[in-house]
A and B are shown apart, each in its own frame.
With several copies, the nearest count.
Chain A
Amino acid sequence: MVQEVSILVGGKAGEGINSAGAIVAQLLNHSGYYTYMYYDYPSLIRGGHNFAIIRGSDRPVNIHRNFVDYVIALNQDTITQHKQRVGKRTINVFNSDVVRTEGQGISVNTILKSENAPAIMGNSAVIGAFAKASGISWDTVSDVFTRHMPKGADINLKVAKRGYDQVNTINTIKSIGSRRFSVLTGNEAIGIGLVAGGLTVYVSYPMTPSSSLLHFLAENTKKFGITVIHPENEISVILMALGFAYAGGRAAIGTSGGGFCLMTEGLSLAGMAEIPIILVVSQRTGPSTGLPTYTAQSDLHFILNAGQGEFPRFVVAPGDVQQAYYWSAVAMDVAWRYQVPACILADKTLSEGTFSIETEKISQAKFADLPLWDGKTPYFRYADTESGISPLAYPGTNGAVVKVNSYAHDKSGITAEESGIITQMTRKRMKKATVLADAMESYDTINIEGSSEAKTVLICWGSVLNTCREVALELNLKVIQPIVLSPFPVIRMNQALQGIKRKIVVEENVTGQLSALLRFNGITSDAMVLHYDGRPLTPDMLLNRLKEVGV
């Protein structure tokens, strides 16, 4: 039998729901569980209603489900707004100063006062109470607080202990082993993937849901051996980064849709000037400002086609932290090897969700040598070669005059307008697309999961993978997730679809963007499940929606 538990933590913005959730996740982690945390918050700083759902399981889980076993309530909304998530089994642990309900209440104020602790530590009290109610040992609590509370673990522990002592154990979350996973967010996984790929500088202007990547990397510059710059706006972000890359740095930038708009002119420049760059774009609900803190998968075609003119680009949409880590490193390699822009397309659910990673199992990307100039032949920045890839040199290299150009240009980088050169250089650039597509044949660009016998497949991309994976397990379906979206791995996709009778595309947008991309590649789907309210499509929802389409 599957060993599983779900915990909802809710309160007002400013009460530290996110960190409370992270601690709860670590409590489960330290009890041997795979964990996942979904964090839901509106776009405001104080007040409102934030909540996190933490799920622990003895098998990997990367999405929350509807039912929760425990509710940790720091405000009344946590009780009133989540009625559909609770059942008879559900146990409430709550701050009785502000919440009226049944279950295990503690007076947070009293505890804080007796420990002379600030208000923000209130969540430690209820976490303590929750730990006791769920039978988690004090040793575990103490261990988790000590390891994972950056500041003030001592006093937080004291507060937690008072909460712990005030309630009774009701329903034990069994410890299922001593193995611990590494718990991290999707953005963190992208960040360390980039670091593994050789990142030297990250340039970004804050924009949810990419900001946490900026914050994470900025916090860890010394540890990772990188630098971070936050310039005046997104236009500057991409242009600065292109300056870095031209001068030999390994630059990545990050944003969300609105900021990406401002980068499209720079993207086209990267395409023409053949300057490598990594763009991390994390999607949120659009159009325009939309719902800044909620999710979507509605920028795929924009990313695939952004920038005037035609040039090869690499686009990868990881679905979980393993993929995020691995493919971010690969993207780095691809961008520099082929001198093309590479985009890591994420979504809020992936970026800000917290996942377990099995350190032993993560794949390390292999890096090819850069096509550096040999220093012997005269240097031409845009020398035409069989592969279309020109040897790289950076300014400051003795004997190389490195001229890059946004205009159509000849092999030395000087502006050219002659018909023959235009045709040749356009083909040169497009050759790289072919070579890149060929090289991708040796990567697992398509992720295939679920039942190998199944005739019905759920096709999805990005974080919806996690929902499909779980539903497929339940319904005995296959799951196909194209991870690389440009160049689209059409051969592998067709192979993956062999023997399939029914194709259902599942995505978080209103027009069916993956479905369109498939159609464009000659693959028609039989049904679409589209979900677009900003909330992640959960397995429970998908099960219902699949019934509607007769699965």
Chain B
Amino acid sequence: MNGRQLITDAQNTWCPGCGNFTIQHTLKTILSEMEKEGTNLDDVVILSGIGCHAKIADYLNINSFYAIHGRAIPVASGIKCANKNLKVICCVGDGDAYAEGLDHLIFAAKRNIDITVIVHNNRVYGLTTGQYTPTSPLGFKGKSTPLGTLEYPLNPLELMLASGATYIARGYTRKMDLLKTLIRGAINHKGFAFIDVLQICATFFNMTDYYNAQIYELPTYDRSNASIACEKVKEWDYNNKAPISLGLFYQRTAPTFDEQFQHQMSVKSERYPIVKEFLALRQ
């Protein structure tokens, strides 16, 4: 059996050198592996917000929900609750998921809903041509802050840890093999899986040299140990120069929202008798 054509005919409009290519390629590889292993790709759904990252919804030839800025995650939660057989993957931006729609990210983690969230974290608003985001370093001079921002960045991994996420990882678009392992792990993880991907924006915030100089892979430790994870997560605060660890920081198993939700669910197809029964009670 030949696998499906995984890329659509849509014209790709990312800039040369954009890290989004790596993420797309990685997902493509993973999808075709999954297909070979027997997953029906009609059971996979990809979601995206709005931004450069989001174009991936057009490019991958699988079910997709190209949502609105900041709101892919609640849609994904609805999809997963509606049909627990679907594999649900969200590709979101840092402006998208850390600014406009931060609350949804936190609540998805809190609920431990079984979806995968990949943040294309280029630390800039790409598609709107270069403003700071919540992970831009202090003093970032973007188009909306020509005098430099006045805010320290958020550390999204720390926030996710505090929110109850059960799979927390960081990847980098110049480390494709690791990225593949992390995303594959996230999709396999039963529960809310979060990967912050340091994605190179070639046009507005090219951090390649900086990252290349700082990154290293996390050593072996008990991934279910929250204290160690917490320490590792704090090593780099997205602002000051420090070693940047890549890999899986934390993983644990816990009941998922969608699964428990199924237990509370009951389906009845004949509706009129139910209504009549109810009305009789009110007499």
Interface residues in chain A, defined as those with a beta carbon under 8 Å from any beta carbon in chain B = 14, 29, 42-48, 180-184, 192, 195-198, 200-201, 203-208, 211, 214-215, 218-233, 235-236, 239-249, 251, 258, 265-266, 269, 273, 288-289, 357, 359, 364, 394-407, 412-415
Question: Which of B86, B101, B264 contacts A227, CB < 8 Å?
Answer: B264
Query: What count of chain B residues pass the 8 Å CB interface test?
Result: 79
| Residues of A contacting B16 in the complex (Cβ-Cβ under 8 angstroms) | 46
Set of chain B residues within 8 Å of A198, measured between Cβ atoms = 271
Are A403 and B63 in contact, with the CB atoms below 8 A? yes
In the complex the two chains form, what is the Cα distance from A184 to B102 in whole Å? 37
Contact with A along B248-283 (1 / 0, CB 8 A): 000000000000010011111101101111111011
Cβ distance B194 to chain A, nearest Cβ, rounded Å:
17
Contact partner, A266, options B71, B127, B143, Cβ 8 Å:
B71
Q: In the complex the two chains form, is B50's CB within 8 Å of A395's CB?
A: no
Q: Known: A196-B272, A211-B128, A414-B58. Is A236-B74 also a contact (CB below 8 A)?
A: yes
Given A249-B78, A404-B65, 17 additional A-B pairs, CB 8 A: A29-B283, A45-B129, A47-B13, A181-B283, A182-B280, A192-B278, A227-B81, A228-B144, A229-B261, A240-B75, A243-B82, A258-B68, A394-B83, A395-B83, A401-B61, A413-B64, A415-B10
The proximity string for B residues 49-92 relative to A, scoring 1 for CB distances below 8 Å and 0 otherwise, is 01010010110011111111111001111111111011000000
Residues of A within 8 A of B42 (CB): 395-401
Cβ contact of B82, chosen from A219, A247, A401, A402, cutoff 8 A = A247
Q: How far is the CB of A109 from chain B (nearest CB, A)?
A: 17
Measured in the bound complex, the distance between the Cα atoms of B131 and A404 in whole Å is 28
Most A C-beta atoms less than 10 A away, residue of B15, B78, B134, B271: B78
Q: Does B226 have its Cβ within 8 Å of any Cβ on chain A?
A: no
Are B45 and A395 interface neighbours, CB within 8 A?
Answer: yes
Contacts A231-B107, A236-B107, A258-B68 given; does A243 touch B146 at CB 8 Å: no
Q: Contact: A415 with B68, CB < 8 Å?
A: no
Is B104 located at the chain interface by the 8 A CB criterion?
yes
A-B contacts, 19 listed (Cβ < 8 Å): A14-B203, A44-B127, A45-B13, A45-B126, A48-B13, A182-B279, A195-B274, A214-B144, A218-B144, A223-B274, A225-B267, A232-B104, A236-B103, A240-B74, A247-B82, A265-B71, A266-B68, A364-B272, A413-B64
The answer to whether B143 touches A215 (Cβ under 8 A) is: yes
Given contacts A403-B66, A414-B8, contact A244 B100 (CB under 8 A): no
B39 contacts the other chain (Cβ, under 8 Å)?
no
Contact residues in B for A407 (Cβ distance below 8 Å): 66
User: B62 contacts which chain A residues (CB < 8 A)?
Assistant: 401
Q: Once the chains bind, are A218 and B143 in contact (CB under 8 Å)?
A: yes
Q: Which B residues lie at the A interface, using CB under 8 A?
A: 8-10, 13-16, 40, 42-43, 45, 50, 52, 55, 57-58, 61-71, 74-83, 85-86, 99-104, 107, 125-129, 131-132, 134, 143-147, 203-204, 261, 264-269, 271-272, 274-280, 282-283
Q: Report how far A415 CA is from B104 CA in the complex, Å.
A: 25
Find chain A residues with CB under 8 A from B103 CB. Answer: 232-233, 236
Specify the chain A residue showing the minimal Cβ separation from B134. Answer: A232
For B104, list chain A residues within 8 Å (CB).
Answer: 232, 235-236, 239
- Is A405 a contact partner of B283 (Cβ separation < 8 A)? no
Q: A288 — which chain B residues lie within 8 A by C-beta?
A: 68
User: A225 touches which one: B107, B143, B266 (CB < 8 A)?
Assistant: B266
Q: Tell me the minimal C-beta distance from B87 to chain A in angstroms.
A: 10
Residue numbers in A under 8 Å from B131 (CB-CB): 206, 230
Nearest A residue to B203 via CB reads A45
Chain B residue with the shortest CB-CB distance to A251: B78
| Whole-angstrom CA separation of A240 from B265 in the bound complex | 16
Report how far A311 CA is from B128 CA in the complex, Å.
Answer: 26
In the complex, the 5 A-B pairs of residues with the closest C-beta atoms, listed nearest first: A243-B78, A225-B268, A247-B82, A46-B15, A239-B74
Instruction: Please give me the residue from chain A that is nearest to B13 by CB atom.
Output: A44
By the criterion CB–CB under 8 Å, are B76 and A243 in contact?
yes
| Chain A residues within 8 Å of B65, by CB | 243, 246, 273, 404
Cβ-defined contact, A230 with B145, below 8 A = yes
- Residues in B with CB closer than 8 Å to A204 are 144
Option from B267, B277, B280 in Cβ contact (under 8 Å) with A200: B267
CA distance A397 to B265 in the complex (A): 22
Shortest beta-carbon distance from A213 to chain B in Å:
11
- A45, B274: Cβ atoms under 8 Å? no
Specify which of A43, A225, A396, A399 lies most central, judged by the most chain B CB atoms within 10 Å of its CB: A396
Inter-chain contact A244/B79, CB cutoff 8 Å: yes
Q: Is the CB of A246 within 8 A of B75?
A: yes
Tell me if B10 and A414 are in contact (CB < 8 A).
yes
Contacts known (A45-B203, A236-B74); A14 close to B15, Cβ less than 8 A = yes
**Interfacial chain B residues near A226, Cβ < 8 Å:** 266
Select from chain A the residue with minimum beta-carbon distance to B132: A230
Interface pair B129/A218, CB less than 8 Å apart: no
Bound-complex Cα distance A83 to B145 (A): 41
Chain A contacts for B126, CB-based, 8 A: 45
Cα distance A82–B252 when bound, in Å? 58
Closest to B277 in A: A223
